Amino acid sequence: MIDDIKIKLKQVAAIVDGNKNLLKYKLGISNEQDEKVFAARRKVCNACPFRSATDKCIKCGCPLGAKTRTNKTNCPEGYWKTN
Ligand code: SF4
């Protein structure tokens, strides 16, 4: 139970961070190198069989728009990793 809560909180923190990075991108203040990494992840997720029609990862339930834009998480299937 406690472990489940910790995992959920970590997931929420990653999604918040991903949305913060998306906002930075929209404001034109994002890091160029990070954007290259995020774009490469996005390409992998777009072609992944675990991507849902609502643009979520079926394996972890995260919205991919945010998940691919944070360095606080990894692909649950190991298709991409945060350095
Ligand atoms: S995070 Fe991994 S498993 Fe999920 S959709 Fe992207 S590539 Fe697929």
DSSP string computed for 5-74:
HHHHHHHHHHHHHHHHHHHHHHHT---HHHHHHHHHHHHHHHT-TTB-TTSBBTTT--BHHHHTT-SS--
pLDDT per residue, tens digit, the chain (83 aa), is 899 999 999 999 999 999 999 999 999 999 999 999 999 999 999 999 999 999 999 999 999 999 999 999 999 999 999 87
**Which pLDDT value is given to residue 58?**
97
Question: Rounded to two decimals, what is the model's pTM?
Answer: 0.89
**Which pLDDT value is given to residue 14?**
95
Q: Is 66 in the pocket of ligand 1 (CB under 6 A)?
A: no
Q: Whose CA is nearest to atom 4 of ligand 1?
A: 57
Q: Is 77 in the pocket of ligand 1 (CB under 6 A)?
A: yes
Backbone angles phi, psi at 80, to 5 degrees: -150, 155
**Which pLDDT value is given to residue 78?**
97
